Amino acid sequence: MSYVGIDFGTTNSAVAIAEASGPSRLVPLTVGTQVFETFRSVLFFEKQEDRLGTTLAHWAGPEAIEAYLDSEGEGRFVQSVKSYLASKDFTGTNILGKQFGIEPLVSLILKDLKAKAETSAGPLPQTIVVGRPAHFVGDSGDDAEAMALDRLREAFRLAGVHEIRFELEPVAAAYHYESGLERDELVLIADFGGGTSDFCLLRVGPKARASAQADGDRAGDILGVGGVGIAGDSFDSRIVEHCVTPHLGRGTQYRSMDGQMLPMPVWPFEYMRRWHLLSFLNTTQTRRMLTEILRTSENPTQIQALITVIEEGLGFHLHRAVEHAKVVLSGQPETKFRFTLPGASIETTIQRSDFEDWVKPETLAIAGCVDDLMERTGVSFADVDRVFLTGGSSFIPIIRRLFSDRFGEDKLRTGGELTSVASGLALAARTASR
């Protein structure tokens, strides 16, 4: 019998499978002639004409990116949709004339992910273990968390998965870390996703593994969990704020109909630096507002560039430029940021020291979450045997220093940055079946 775990992530998703014994393995996801371990959690919509009329076509994952890049600005690109799950304000959105709720949007990603997994691994079992963060993005309390879980459960049902069991993503990462462990440890798991940073302090190793197999879960091993809705997307937003929006009209003025000079509205730039909101700037109302501002702006070139980003649907291009800069800064003291759009180009040098200043509020919030977890559990930093860092932001030097300063560099371990949660979820599924 096979056991399957699905990690539906803000940025990337993955599927893993475990047999009755042995390690889990990632399910290869074939798209055309390419094989992927992870599946970008994105969608692209485009109107298509045929002899029957106009239809709304959609793609998910790598195929969505390919269709988007071939579209020459037509259509709608949607990313980081997981960030809406706990939002009570988001009940639906109109995409090219068709209304979508959050559950159908998520299900489109999950349905394609499931189909590609089944192409490689055969039909998935009836019950699947699914990852969930300790705290969802925008989680404002128990009601929001329950709503997010209900929405995610319904999205899986729409995708053809009717029985799921949730497991905390940092606990799943602990299963992955523990799979190669031959001695017992008290470990802090730090899982950095696109939308959330999640932490779990628990006991792992042969003794804990045997206990979990007897009990069917890890509840007895967990000393405490914590999380905060700050992660990779939050760090990206600071680069957009400091390197992009100042070149797109933020801080400029325009003349109103009665002759007054008014400041450029801030809210379009707030949308722009949040990936899950960016694609929803492309509305008739927003375009009309910006066109009016363009006529009397003190800097029409920048406003026109902003309109171009929105109308041409350049969100993914912007995301790719920002992500590249962030990755380079993890290994080098500076990088050249470059974002090219029709008729304009934004180029600037980013120093790692400046980036670390920009993300200081986010870093302090993450540090506060870790410190709170340690205080609640009554465990000292010295008592922790290992700290396992996973997820893309674990590469960021200031994040790594946060942990080395508290626990010591020698205790830090990394691995499976984009896949450890999926691998662990499959192992959790096997444990739960016993």
In tens, the pLDDT along 82-102 reads: 999 999 988 888 898 899 999
**Structural domain containing residue 173:** 3-182+415-432
Euclidean distance between CA atoms 193 and 235, whole angstroms:
11
Express each pLDDT in 255-311 by its tens digit.
Answer: 998 889 999 999 999 999 988 888 889 889 999 999 999 999 999 999 999 999 999
Structural domain total, the chain: 1
Given the DSSP bridges, would you call strands 344-351 and 163-168 parallel, antiparallel or unpaired?
unpaired
- What pLDDT does residue 278 have? 85
For residues 243 and 359, is the Cβ–Cβ distance under 8 A? Answer: no
Express each pLDDT in 208-252 by its tens digit.
Answer: 888 777 777 778 899 999 999 999 999 999 999 999 999 999 999
Which CATH number characterizes residue 22's domain? Answer: 3.30.420.40
Residue 47: strand, helix, or coil:
strand
- 54-65 in b/e form (b: 16+ CB < 10 A) is eeeebbbbbbbb
Q: How far is CA 63 from CA 40, 114, 194, 316, in A?
A: 9, 14, 20, 13
Confirm whether 406 is domain-assigned.
no
Q: What is the CA radius of gyration of the chain?
A: 23
Confirm whether 287 is domain-assigned.
no
- What pLDDT does residue 426 have? 97
For residues 132 and 168, is the Cβ–Cβ distance under 8 A? Answer: yes
Lookup: tokens for 17: 């499978």
User: Which segments in the chain show pLDDT lower than 70?
Assistant: 73, 139-140
Residue 201: strand, helix, or coil:
strand
Confirm whether 360 is domain-assigned.
no
Euclidean distance between CA atoms 156 and 104, whole angstroms:
9
Confirm whether 225 is domain-assigned.
no
pTM (two decimals): 0.91
Confirm whether 141 is domain-assigned.
yes
- What pLDDT does residue 58 have? 96
Beta carbons within 8 Å of 228's beta carbon, 6+ residues apart: 135, 196, 197, 365, 366, 369
Q: How far is CA 29 from CA 35, 117, 225, 412, 429, in A?
A: 5, 6, 32, 31, 20
